[in-house]
Amino acid sequence: MTQRTLGRGLLALAMLLIVLWPAARAQAAEAMSYKFVLDVKQGTAVNEGTVPVVGKHFSISGTIWFRRYDLSGEIDGNDVKVTGDWDGNYLRAEGEVHSGTVQLDFGTTGVIYSAFITLAVH
């Protein structure tokens, strides 16, 4: 009985160390810098900036060729997902952050020839 209790105590201690150890957890992002490139019939446009990350979510909005784009993203550890819309054309991408940055090629619908976004986590 004593051996079983000792084993449970060591297991609980090991789990507590994993939870409290800073290197074992993914750091929360405070901000996200981006460079968004959109290639359409009118030409290629580039917008860039920095947006705050609230919890695990961030939002990027702007105007390209007099039409609004809205992107929303989620960062969960090293995994990033971004979806959005430009003038009724859907964008979607996901990937993994390496050394604080990631470049995502969007799958698109409609009149978008190609689109990608580069993200840097702060």
**pTM confidence score:** 0.76
Residues above pLDDT 90, as percent of the chain? 74
Domain assignment present for 16:
no
The DSSP symbol for 54 reads B
CATH number at residue 113: 2.40.160.90
Confidence check: pLDDT of 58 > 80: yes
Domain assignment present for 3:
no
Distant-in-sequence, close-in-space partners of 92: CB < 8 Å, separation ≥ 6? 82, 83, 84, 106, 107
pLDDT score recorded for residue 105: 97
**Domain tally, the chain:** 1
Domain assignment present for 84:
yes
Domain assignment present for 8:
no
Domain that holds residue 74: 26-121
Could you tell me the pLDDT band of residue 11, with boundaries at 50, 70 and 90? low
Domain assignment present for 7:
no
Question: Tokens at residue 30, please?
Answer: 């405070």
pLDDT score recorded for residue 29: 80
Nearest to 77 by CA among 122, 117, 28: 28
Q: HEC profile for 8-34?
A: HHHHHHHHHHHHHCHHHCCCCCCEEEE
Domain assignment present for 2:
no
pLDDT score recorded for residue 34: 97
